[in-house]
Structure 1
Amino acid sequence: MLERNKVELTLKNEAGNPFLRGPFTPNDTEYAVTGADLKVIGEIPRDLAGIYVRNTHNQVHEPIGVYHPFDGDAMMHAVHFHDGKAEYRNRFVRTTGFLAEQAAGKALWPGLLNPNLYQRRGWGSIGAMKDNAGTDVLIHNGKLLATMSQGGEPWRLDPITLETLGPDINMALVKDGVSSHAKVDNATGELMFFNYPEHPPYMNYGVCNAKGEVVHYVPIELPGARWPHDLGITKNYTVLHDMPLYFDPVALKKGVHDLVFNRDMPARFGVVPRYGDNTSIRWFEASSCFILHLANCFEDGDEVVMDACIMPDFKKIPVNEHNNMFERIRANLDKHNNPTFMHRWRFNMRTGETREERLDDEITEFPTVSNEIVGLPYRYSYNVLYKKGDWLFSGLKRFDLQQGTAVRYEYGEGRYGSEPQMARAVGATREDDGYVLTFVTDMNENLSECLILRADDMAAGPIARVILPERIQVGTHACWVEADRLYGERPAAAA
């Protein structure tokens, strides 16, 4: 069975913007494809049960100001695996901003680079942009939650149909919104989240229980407005970030958002008990850096350990001699200009000491681990590799952090992937007993596919490929939804 629904795009100048064409070309059709209409090459394992979901910034209307690839409207792409079969769906997230612009037939809010052009109240820490819900996606209490990195309303979606169910009724009432990269503790079903407004206290931290109720929400006092991106959890703690990347405070008072990186300022990491507050947080100083994404955190004796991709020297790339704003965007997104490496921090809760070490010398990012070991000691991290000179993922690298070794799989020229997810096989007893999933957009063959690779033999390449009904836009963040979490947190967690 194949169903289609088309959404009209009003883009006029996509030929002049590299982030609206080629592998970034927005999709205008929503599909539901099942059965024989979905081509599969190879054999889908019967012990692969759940849904691989990826969020995408998919622009619909001609942008106001300069379009940045993080501005587009959220579109979810998902492959549902069950009984050795697959089903594919994709749908726009119908946020308040999306519906308002659909009614108007044009863009109503500017994007990340031109918040000064806003004419109506917006969302996020800046307060001028649309809540596009296009950054992150995770599952909690039986519903997908789509969020944007600057903070907004978490949008609930049915994990199977991808129907937008509205903003989360509990977290939507939280002042200053919910940032992307909340974390779920699979043992308890609790979800930990944060936000970072441009007014005191400059950060807030919260906890939802397994039923989705906000049961803890407290201010975390920072010295000023910051621009963090992720948080980490362990069995007993949450790790919050105070990074030396922030908007120039003098310019900010004038409404100008000018990001600066202070190399003379240490990075600070706040380790707070899960239900702690500003009085119980412990701050640890470390070398100056910026961090986008964490692999995992865990407790090791007196220490809280955090693994992430460190950016040791954030650089803003200036406009080139042709004053080409799009080349500037590309250069700033190119990780070969702002290298990121796997790195480990150890925060000693007894002595207050910080120790850190580089784990690898290759540029990687978007580290992911199996859902079952988030917050616990772990062995494997699955990271993306980058095409030099662009914001495109060229392959995967699996780190064995116990052995200090790694294996890789590269997609090949003209093929670009998404954030991988590790789906443990039903009944798995080992951390790497399962499958690595990713969407790949193939510019050579003008198609997209979902690759299934064995997690314990990733270098061998895919054991199966699910061919999608059309070439989809490249995207980033994804999640894996286990079959037994499709309708709520597991009984032991929700008890």
Structure 2
Amino acid sequence: MASELVREYETSIRENNHPYMSGAWAPMHREYNATDMEVIGTIPTDIDGVYIRNTENPVHRPLGMYHPFEGDGMLHMISFKDGKATYRNRFIQTNAFREEQAAGEALWSGWTAIPNMSKRPGEVQQPGLKDASSTDVIVHAGKVITTYWQCGQGYKLDPYTLEDDGTVDWCPEAGISAHTKLDENTGELLFFNYSLEAPYMHYGLVDADGNLEHYIPVDLPGPRMPHDMAFTENFAIVNDFPMFYRPDALEQGIHIPMFDKTKKSRFGIIPRKGKPEDIRWFEAEPTYVLHWLNAWEEGDEIILDGYFQEDPFPAKMVDHVPPKYAMMATFLDLTTLGARLHRWRFNLKTGETREEKLDDEYLEFGMFNQKYAGKPYRYAYSAKPKQGWFLFEGLVKHDLKTGEKTRLDFGENRYGSEAPFVPRVGATEEDDGYLVSFITDMNTNTSEAVLVDARRIEDGPVCRIMLPERIPSGTHSTWANGEDIRKYR
């Protein structure tokens, strides 16, 4: 392996029993460039592009209770072309990261810290929190864009070098939530944000060249905690779930989530460049959805697939972690929350909502061929959560036409994440390509990148590429085709 250690950051974190600062979640603090890595199998020659995953890597000992979503963002990138692979990882150079590096200590406490212990003003929608930009990642107009779940800036990096390129110049004052959505067919980027002040949400659209083209308020009854959005060819879909901060606590400046099961879920359907008065609201069964899969139009209906939580606010806490971490660990356990693949149908003519469960298995963090985003699709690839943990131990492929289901298990004590679909160069069929993921192997304390034939995921990886160091579990990832990136270079 040709591996260059580019930089190592000093850390004040010591060995601890925090379930999300140890084990598979133990942070790394080295940045590498690596080529000629050990390969088990053969890297396919018919893929061209980059796979990038965001991870949480706290550098300094946290102030108060640490939540894994607050760790400093670090990107891991592996590029493929002509049967060769190159790996790099870099911390995202957010304003907060630079300030804490200069101070040599943590300056912000987390969203679960009561009372707030931050030493600097907050940067996101909840007061007192830093913008770690550690949640989501996407490639748009030739640049990587990272975002934070609590609505911060959009940070830009080069897709191949991960060189810092500042922030997007179209970011509104209210910020950008994680889960911006790219329409590969138009090049447009759809986004939303949310806040503690009226109108509580906005929706926007950025054109293929990175210019803010559309931005409107979405009036909600009060502050909410949305996490994702979806789109079809002609519409954007936002949500108003009955998950929000307790009003009595919020008046005291304390942010305690609650779920009101007496209230319906609401879905706002907006023409892509529609006005606030064009928004149509549809009601459905109360739930919370962390992530959507896809949506499309069919006759008078809009069909939306996502992961319905059957118990968004469980009363019973997990008991396999130290008691002080039990509540946090419970709300990170997708099996306890009961996340299952689900379908909603919204009739634009009658205003009726119909919904159905698509699978009884606990699943989340779904991916599909992005050429079919906003259109009818057939294949979905979901991550299988480990019971009791925010870890993923396998992948499940659904054929939504036949109902067939196949799976790949990563193996004992081996954890991956959502696995983007990688189209074969020149492919014409929806599932003609690969799935890609980073795997953390706690048996050997190593990590690897794997490519899996999307048509036969049960066969296991076609190749395994060994990385220079074990990387921690993380959140979201993306695939960008090399041809699309090079249009902007």
1:99 alignment partner in structure 2: 98
CA contact (8 A) 2:420 2:435 kept: yes
Separation (CA, whole Å) in 1 of partners of 2:76 and 2:165: 16
Percentage of matched positions with identical amino acids: 43
1:151 maps onto 2:134 in alignment:
no
Q: 5 Å matches for 1:113-262?
A: 113-114=112-113, 116-171=116-171, 174-262=172-260
5+ unaligned residues in a row in structure 1: which ranges?
491-495
CA contact (8 A) 2:11 2:29 kept: no
Query: After the TM superposition, which parts of structure 1 deviate over 4 Å for at least 4 consecutive aligned residues?
Result: 316-323
Offset, 1:151: 0.5
Q: Deviations over 1:81-121 (max 9, x none)?
A: 00011001000000000000000010011112117222321
Separation (CA, whole Å) in 2 of partners of 1:67 and 1:395: 27
1:20 maps onto 2:21 in alignment:
yes
Offset, 1:323: 7.4
- When the two structures are superposed, what TM-score results if normalisation uses the length of structure 2? 0.97
Count of aligned residue pairs for this structure pair? 486
In structure 2, the CA distance between the partners of 1:206 and 1:18, relative to structure 1 (3 Å rule), is same
2:479 alignment partner in structure 1: 480
Q: Deviations over 1:119-139 (max 9, x none)?
A: 321122203211000000001
Offset, 1:16: 2.7
Offset, 1:488: 4.6
Separation (CA, whole Å) in 2 of partners of 1:323 and 1:428: 49
Offset, 1:22: 1.0
Offset, 1:312: 2.5
Kindly provide the amino acid, as one letter, of the partner of residue 2 in structure 1. Answer: S
1:272 maps onto 2:270 in alignment:
yes
2:376 alignment partner in structure 1: 377
Offset, 1:317: 4.9
CA contact (8 A) 1:395 1:411 kept: yes
Q: Deviations over 1:3-24 (max 9, x none)?
A: 2133334334441312111111
Kindly provide the amino acid, as one letter, of the partner of residue 312 in structure 2. Answer: F
CA contact (8 A) 1:318 1:328 kept: no
Q: Deviations over 1:32-69 (max 9, x none)?
A: 011x3x11111111111111100001110000111111
Offset, 1:391: 1.4
CA contact (8 A) 1:143 1:488 kept: no
1:216 alignment partner, SS class: strand
Separation (CA, whole Å) in 2 of partners of 1:46 and 1:66: 46
Q: 5 Å matches for 1:29-48?
A: 29-34=30-35, 36=36, 38-48=37-47
1:415 alignment partner in structure 2: 414
Q: 1:298 aligns with which of 288, 296, 299?
A: 296
1:111 alignment partner in structure 2: 110
Separation (CA, whole Å) in 2 of partners of 1:291 and 1:416: 23
Separation (CA, whole Å) in 2 of partners of 1:424 and 1:50: 10
Kindly provide the amino acid, as one letter, of the partner of residue 292 in structure 1. Answer: L
2:450 alignment partner in structure 1: 451
2:366 alignment partner in structure 1: 367
Kindly provide the amino acid, as one letter, of the partner of residue 370 in structure 2. Answer: N
Kindly provide the amino acid, as one letter, of the partner of residue 21 in structure 1. Answer: S
Kindly provide the amino acid, as one letter, of the partner of residue 137 in structure 1. Answer: V
CA contact (8 A) 1:50 1:82 kept: yes
Kindly provide the amino acid, as one letter, of the partner of residue 170 in structure 1. Answer: W
1:493 alignment partner in structure 2: none
Q: 5 Å matches for 1:76-91?
A: 76-91=75-90
- When the two structures are superposed, what TM-score results if normalisation uses the length of structure 1? 0.96
CA contact (8 A) 1:143 1:487 kept: no
Separation (CA, whole Å) in 1 of partners of 2:330 and 2:12: 24
1:333 alignment partner, SS class: coil
* Worse overlay, 420-429 or 249-258: 249-258
Aligned-CA RMSD value:
1.6
* Worse overlay, 109-118 or 86-95: 109-118
5+ unaligned residues in a row in structure 2: which ranges?
none
Kindly provide the amino acid, as one letter, of the partner of residue 398 in structure 2. Answer: F
Kindly provide the amino acid, as one letter, of the partner of residue 191 in structure 1. Answer: L
Separation (CA, whole Å) in 2 of partners of 1:323 and 1:32: 37
CA contact (8 A) 2:6 2:33 kept: no
2:3 alignment partner in structure 1: 2
Separation (CA, whole Å) in 1 of partners of 2:282 and 2:290: 18
Separation (CA, whole Å) in 2 of partners of 1:479 and 1:342: 21
CA contact (8 A) 2:13 2:59 kept: no
Q: 5 Å matches for 1:48-59?
A: 48-59=47-58
1:356 maps onto 2:355 in alignment:
yes
Separation (CA, whole Å) in 2 of partners of 1:73 and 1:277: 37
